[in-house]
Each structure stands twice: as C-alpha cells, then as structure tokens.
C-alpha cells in the first residue's frame, strides 16, 4: 500500500502518523515545502521517500512530484494531509491520480462551506444556527431583515475558511453598516449569535463511517476571542468515560456519532465543533444544550492529538494507522482515563509563576511542554504545558496556576 502524506512536516508532531503507518508495513511517501535536511529526524527515518516542493500551491509542481513517486513505487492508494489548509489540494490530487479513497473536488463543498455543512448536521440530529449568505452591499437589506428576525448580535465569518480569521460579532445596526461599507473578498456567512463556548467531538471512523474512537475537547474561551483579543489559552480533553460537567455526555456522543455518519466520511480523523449555550436562545436551544458549529475532517489543530493521547492513555496516531491498514482499531481503549489540560502562555503577557515554579509544583503531572511555531501561536499561544489529572478540579487549578498573571 502506498500512502502519500502531504506536508508531513507541519505540524511537527505529525511524524507520529508516519511512524505508525510505516510500522504497519505501509509505504509512506512525503511531499512538503521544507528542505529534506531540515526535517525532524524521526520524520526523515520514517518516510520511505520525501520530495521537496518549494511552493505547494503550485499544482503543476505537486503533480510532477507525485508522478515521479508513482513511477517509482506504483499506484497511489491514499493522498492525505490531515491539515485543513491542504484539504482541497488533497482532493484535486486524488482526482488527478484516480485515488478512490477520500473526497474528490466535487464532493468537498459540504466539508468546507459552513453553510453547506448545516444540512448534514441536521441529518445527524444536531441543531444549527440560522444564517444567510452575504457577498456585499447588495445583500444589506437581506441582512437587516435577518437581524430583525433573530436579533443582535450577529456573527460573520468567511463561508469557507480556516480557524477564526476575520470572524467577529456585529452588535448593532451601526456595526452592520460598517461591515457592508467594506468590499468583501469572498462570500461570508452571517449567523445568529450564540453566547457559548466550543465543545468538540473528535475521533476516527472506519470505511463505513462508524466511529472506532472518540473523545471530547472543551474550550472555555471561544477561539475568536482568543485570536481577536490576543488572550492566553486553556482547554482540555474530557474522555467520554469520565464525567462531563458542562454537557449531557450520552446525548452528545450519540449525536456526534450520527453526524459523522451523515457526513459520509470514511477512514478519517474528524474534529467537529459544537457550541454549548451559556443562556437560553429563543427559537434555538436552552442553556447547557449544544448546537452545531462546523466540521473539520482532519485531526484537531496544534498538538491536540497528543493531549487526546494523554487523556485516553492511547495513541490516536496508531488508531488512525490501524484504520488505514486494517479498517479497525486494534488499540486497548480500556486503560486509565484522565482530564488532560493544555495551559498556554503568551510572550507579551507577564505571569506570576516562573517555568521552574510550574515544573516544581506540577512536574509529576506534566506530560509535555514546549513552544508553538509562529503559524500556530496566534490561536494557541506561545508556550504550552500539557498535564493530566484524575479530577477536573485539579486540572482547573493547574491551569489557573500556569496562567495567573503578575
């Protein structure tokens, strides 16, 4: 089996995907925009071969690199990046090389366009926020009518986009007027505003869309506020085997599994985001209930796969490789579970406790720490500490200690 991993060097921890695939006898070939000599040593050792492409947006160069690999190793069975930025490229290359696994370009809209996702969320039994699409000044009257129906604030963001880039609330008609004074570079989705926070349904499914592993990540502060207000970051992984203090875990897992099935994905990692409401929202849901936000048909961002590992005492990298190789999970899912917390700090903020104090107090609980690269730091913070605990109260105390400001 030949598996082409697009951009295997980013995020850097993705070498663990390649190692797990290679251990199962899969030929893993990489194409990326980092010089071979600069790759992480474990990535270099795990790849059967690597091709450098200076600009991965150069479709012709990517096709040429794949042609060379196919000529040497034979037909390509998988082309994957597990990276939101490259999902469209993955699809285009699959079509070009007649790769049957994964989405082709004509199947991408419902996993990239936030408006198209709503139909599939509804099929899976998830509530969704009301919305309209806007392209510019000509849609202002429709927006005013929408505002009169659902009330302010409204929330706007690109209909197709990654993360929280250019996503913000419009609190009144004055701010709506200012929004329409701009020339919109693309179609935006305008939704009713939900006062809440994100809880994700993360996991891996087999070829039939059946979830073979799932867990949940909880983000007390919405990502748009972290990015737009330059806040530091604390979030945690809560396995379904442990009590969830903010959501009906049984109902959430049931809907999550149903949504995965509805989207028709196969042999994929998924990171599906929901809002948990802080207050009742008339016509939508009550406080504590969840509504669908968006799907991401790849692994969660940054080093979150490692946080999931620490919480569940598994390797999601190996579960993913099991699914690719055998179409099933072969890992033991019955090991001790923990609340695994990520506390991250920003360089521009002065904190009360030094790194030495953090490690002295929590050294036995800290699983991993380090620095995020520049491209991730905007959303995730600069320096992170992952730690695991048997109770959520202990995890919250850890987060408060790490992020306490001077």
Q: Taking residues 49-76, report their average pLDDT.
A: 98
Selecting from 3.90.1150.10, 3.40.50.11540, 3.30.470.20, 3.40.50.1970, what CATH number does the domain 196-402 have?
A: 3.30.470.20
Contact 193, 341 (CB under 8 A): no
Mean predicted confidence (pLDDT) in 58-65: 98
Q: Domain limits of the chain?
A: 2-107, 130-192, 196-402
**Secondary structure letter of residue 300 according to DSSP:** P
Tokens of 240: 């379904």
Contact 53, 33 (CB under 8 A): yes
Nearest by Cα to 356 from 319, 401, 310, 297: 401
Q: What is the pLDDT of residues 94-153, one digit of tens each?
A: 999 999 999 999 999 999 999 999 999 999 999 999 999 999 999 999 999 999 999 999
For range 291-311, the mean pLDDT: 95
- Position 224 scores a pLDDT of 62
Residues 215 and 255: their CA atoms lie apart, in Å, by 13
Crossing angle of helices 392-402 and 355-362, in 10° steps, is 160
Residue with tokens 């802080």: 278
What is the rounded CA–CA span in Å between residue 63 and residue 217?
A: 36
The structure tokens listed for 347 are: 């360089």
What mean pLDDT do residues 8-32 have? 97
**pLDDT confidence band for 8 (50 / 70 / 90):** very high
- The percentage of the chain sitting over the pLDDT mark of 90, rounded to a whole number, equals 91
Q: What does residue 60 show for φ and ψ, rounded to 5 degrees?
A: -60, -45
Average pLDDT for the chain: 95
- Summarised one tens digit per residue, pLDDT across range 268-279 is 999 999 999 999
**Average pLDDT over every residue of 383-389:** 98
Check: CB of residue 333 under 8 Å from CB of residue 314: yes
SS3 353: coil
Task: Say if residue 153 is preceded by a cis peptide, omega within 30 of 0.
Answer: yes
62/4 Cα distance (integer angstroms): 12
- Of the candidates 316, 321, 286, 287, the one whose C-alpha atom is nearest the C-alpha of residue 304 is 316
Residue 228 has pLDDT above 70, yes or no: no
The model's pTM is: 0.93
Specify whether the backbone of 252 is left (phi greater than 0), alpha (psi in -120 to 50) or beta: alpha
Kind of pairing between the strands at 78-80 and 383-389 = unpaired
Please identify, in words, the CATH class of the domain defined by 130-192.
alpha beta
**Left if phi > 0, otherwise alpha if psi is -120 to 50, otherwise beta: which for 54?**
alpha
Of residues 225, 138, 165, 232, the one with CA closest to residue 375: 165
C-alpha distances in Å from residue 136, one per residue of 60, 140, 190:
33, 7, 12
CATH of domain 2-107: 3.40.50.20
Please give the C-alpha separations between residue 159 and each of 156, 184, 194, 264, 379, in angstroms, as whole numbers.
Answer: 9, 11, 17, 21, 19
According to the model, what pLDDT value does residue 377 have?
A: 86
Phi, psi values for residue 212, rounded to 5°:
-100, -15
Q: Is the pLDDT of residue 229 over 80?
A: no
Give the separation between CA 318 and CA 39, rounded to whole angstroms. Answer: 21
Q: In what order do the strands lie in the sheet with 168-170?
A: 131-134, 188-192, 154-158, 168-170
């Amino acid at each position: 089996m030949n598996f082409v991993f697009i951009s295997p060097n980013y995020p850097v921890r993705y070498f663990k995907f390649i190692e797990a695939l290679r251990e199962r006898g899969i030929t893993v070939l990489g194409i990326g925009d980092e010089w071979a000599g600069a790759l992480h040593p474990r990535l270099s050792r795990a790849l059967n071969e690597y091709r450098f492409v200076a600009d991965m947006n150069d479709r012709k160069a990517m096709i040429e690199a794949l042609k060379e690999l196919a000529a040497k190793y034979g037909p390509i069975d998988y082309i994957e990046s597990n990276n939101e930025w490259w999902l469209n490229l993955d699809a285009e290359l699959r079509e070009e090389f007649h790769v049957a696994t994964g989405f082709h370009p004509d199947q991408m809209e419902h996993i990239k366009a936030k408006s198209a996702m709503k139909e599939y969320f509804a099929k899976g039994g998830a509530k969704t926020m009301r919305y309209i699409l806007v392209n510019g000044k000509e849609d202002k009257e429709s927006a005013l009518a929408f505002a009169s129906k659902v009330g302010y604030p409204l929330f706007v963001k690109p209909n197709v986009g990654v993360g929280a880039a250019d996503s913000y609330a419009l609190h009144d008609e004055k701010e709506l007027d200012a929004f329409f004074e701009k020339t919109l570079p693309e179609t935006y989705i305008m939704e009713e505003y939900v006062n809440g926070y994100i809880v994700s349904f993360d996991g891996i499914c087999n070829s039939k869309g059946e979830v073979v592993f799932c867990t949940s990540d909880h983000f007390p502060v919405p990502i748009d506020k972290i990015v737009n207000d330059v806040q530091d970051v604390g979030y945690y992984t809560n396995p379904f085997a442990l009590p969830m203090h903010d959501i009906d875990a049984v109902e959430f897992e049931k809907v999550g599994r149903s949504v995965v099935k509805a989207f028709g994905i196969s042999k994929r990692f998924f990171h599906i985001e929901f809002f948990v409401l802080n207050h009742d929202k008339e016509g939508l849901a009550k406080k504590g209930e969840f509504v669908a936000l968006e799907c991401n048909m790849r692994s969660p961002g940054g080093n979150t796969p490692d946080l999931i590992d620490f919480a569940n005492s598994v390797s999601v990298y190996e579960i993913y490789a099991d699914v690719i190789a055998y179409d099933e999970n072969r890992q033991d899912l019955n090991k001790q579970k923990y609340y695994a917390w990520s506390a991250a700090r920003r360089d521009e903020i002065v904190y009360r406790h030094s790194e030495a104090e953090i490690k002295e107090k929590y050294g036995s609980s800290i699983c991993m720490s380090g620095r995020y690269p520049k491209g991730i730091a905007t959303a995730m913070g600069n320096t992170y500490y992952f730690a695991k605990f048997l109770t959520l109260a202990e995890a919250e105390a850890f987060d408060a200690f790490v992020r306490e400001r001077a």
